[in-house]
Structure 1
C-alpha cells in the first residue's frame, strides 16, 4: 500500500489534526522615521547566545523571535504574541519592529553583521555577506515548523506495509516535502506580501510584477546551480554534503530550500536518527497582522500540508 492511500484507510476517529508547531519570526529594528536602527542588540534581553526565544539573525538589527514547541497553532501564535511583546518593550523607545519582509531604504554600510561571540558564526555571516551581499540578508519572513502528531504517525504506520517506524516517518516527510515544493506557489499566491522594493534596492531593472520578491529569484536564494534531490533521504544528504565539500555551500545550513528537514544538528544524522519535523520557509511577513501571520493563515497552512499527504506523490521527483 502506498502512502498516497493511507489517509483514506484511517478510521474516522483517528487524530488527523494532531501535530506540534513552532514559529520563527524575523524583524528589522528601525527608527520612528523608518531608517535602520544603528543600536546594538537590546541589552535588557541578556546574552543572545543563551536566550531561548529572542536572538539575532544575520545582522545586529535583525531580531529573530522563536516560539517553544506548541500542540496547536493557536498556542504557537499566543506564544509568538508574548515573545513579540517582550521584544517590543525591550528595544529602544525610539525604535519599532519593521512590519514588512522587504526592508526600508538602506545602504550596505548601515547593515552591521551580528556582533556574535562565536567566531565560527561570525565568520559564517561575513562569508555570506561577501557571497550574497548584505542587502539580501535584510529581507525578513516567517518560518513555519510542523511535526505530525505521534499518534497520527503511528496510525498511518500501522496501516502501511513498512517494517520500520523510522523509515516510514522519513518516507512520510519526504513525500510531504516533495509535494510542498510542487504546490508552494499556491501559498505565495495567497500570502505573498512583498511585491515592492525600495528604489535602489536592486541594481537591475525589474519590468514584470512580482508577488513576492522574497520568494522569487530576486530573493535571498541559493545560486541556481544548487540542486538538491528529494528523491530519497540519502540522496538529499549526499547532495548537500557534496556542495559543502566543493565549497559551493560554506555549510549545510546554507541550503535555502523552501522546505528543510529538521531535528538533527548534522544532515548525515538523519540517516541514523530520522527526520523529526519539517521547516517551511516561504512565508512573507503579513503587514496587516501585528504578529506577521494570522490565525487563519496558520490553520489554512496546516490543512494544506495535510492535503499534500492525501494527494499523489510526485512521479518525476527531480
Structure 2
C-alpha cells in the first residue's frame, strides 16, 4: 500500500494538475448575460481551453495539464485575460454563488451546435434544469484535476508490472485517496470556504434561515460555504444513492442502477416535450458526471 513515507518532495511537486474555472458572464449592472457565447472565444464544443458549463452565460476556463503549479496558474491567468478582453462590456462574476438571475425559464441553456454530440450536451443540460432547477446549475466553482506522475509509480513499484497490473495498482491507491479526501473534506470547507452571502433572487420562494444584510443580499454571520450547504449545489434525490468507494468495481456497480433504472419522478417528466428531447434518460442519473461529490474519478468523456 502506498503511503506518504514512500513519497519524496519531487513526487508532490511534479503532480500532473489542471484547473477548470467556471464564471458567469454578467452585464455592467450585475445581471446574468442574455447574449450568446461570444464568437471571439471560439467554439464552445471544440475549444480546448474555453467552453461553457450549464448556461450559455457560464464560461468554463480550462488549463492544460501541468507539472508545475506556477505554469498552471500562469496559463489560467492568460486564458482569463484573453476572455476578459473579448466579452465586450460584460464582466466575469467572481463569486461561486450566482449574480442577479431572472426566472428559470430565462436562464439560457448552453448551446453547442447541430452535431449529435453537441445536441446531446444541450439535452443533458435541459434535463438538469428540469431535475434540479436552472438557478442551482448557475452556481460556479473550480475543479482541480490531478494525478500522480508515471515516474512516481515506476520509482515505487518498478517497471516490471504489465499495463493491466499497473492500472489495478493505480486504481487501488486513487480510491484510497478518495476515501481520505472525503473524510477530511469538511476541514477544507471550514478553512477555505468563501461563499457566505447570496443574492435574494436565489432564495426567493425557498425555505432558508439567512439574515438580511443589505438590499438584495442575504447572508449568515459565520457561514463559510453556502455553495456546499443545503441551499447550494446539492441534491436530496442523489442522497439515496449508496455509493461505494472501496474500489473501481464497487464504485461502478453502486452507480449502475442509478444510471440504468427508471426513476419514477423523472420518468414522469418524459424524454421529450412532444417535439424536442428534454433529457437523455429517465434514470436517476443521465450520465456519471451528474453525480455530485466533493471528489470523483475523472471521466474521459465530458458533457
Structures share a fold, TM > 0.5?
A: yes
Is 1:52 aligned with 2:48?
Answer: yes
CA distance in 1, matches of 2:11, 2:192: 28
Distance 2:10 2:86 in 1: 44
1:217-265 C-alpha deviation (Å, 9 max, x unpaired):
3222233212311011101011122211121111111112111112533
Are positions 1:101 and 2:96 aligned together?
Answer: yes
Q: 1:23, 1:100 → 2: CA distance?
A: 17
TM-score norm. by structure 1 comes to 0.76
- Residue 257 of structure 2: aligned partner: 242
> Where do residues 1-318 of structure 1 align in structure 2 (5 Å cutoff)?
2-3=1-2, 6-9=3-6, 15-92=11-88, 94-107=89-102, 108-117=104-113, 118-158=118-158, 164-202=165-203, 203-207=206-210, 209-222=222-235, 223=237, 224-246=239-261, 247-262=283-298, 264-265=300-301
- How far off its partner does 1:83 sit? 0.5
Unaligned runs of 5+ in 2: 211-219, 262-282
- Measured in 2, the distance between the counterparts of 1:104 and 1:158 equals 51
Distance in 2 of aligned mates of 1:265 and 1:237: 16
Equivalent residues of 1:48, 1:55 under 8 A apart: yes
- What are the Cα deviations for residues 143-175 of structure 1, in whole angstroms up to 9, with x where unaligned? 00111122222223249x999222111111011
**Number of residue pairs matched?**
260
User: Contact 2:13–2:67 (CA<8 Å) still a contact in 1?
Assistant: no
Unaligned runs of 5+ in 1: 267-318
Specify the alignment match of 2:275 in structure 1: none
> In the TM superposition, what is the alpha-carbon distance from 1:95 to its structure 2 partner?
0.7
TM-score (norm 2): 0.80
Q: CA deviation at 1:15?
A: 3.6
User: How far apart are the structure 1 equivalents of 2:191 and 2:10?
Assistant: 30
Higher relative contact order (CA 8 A, sep 6+): 1
Cα shift at 1:184: 0.8
Residues 44-84 of structure 1, C-alpha deviations (whole Å, 9 max, x = no match): 12222111111111101000000011111111100000100
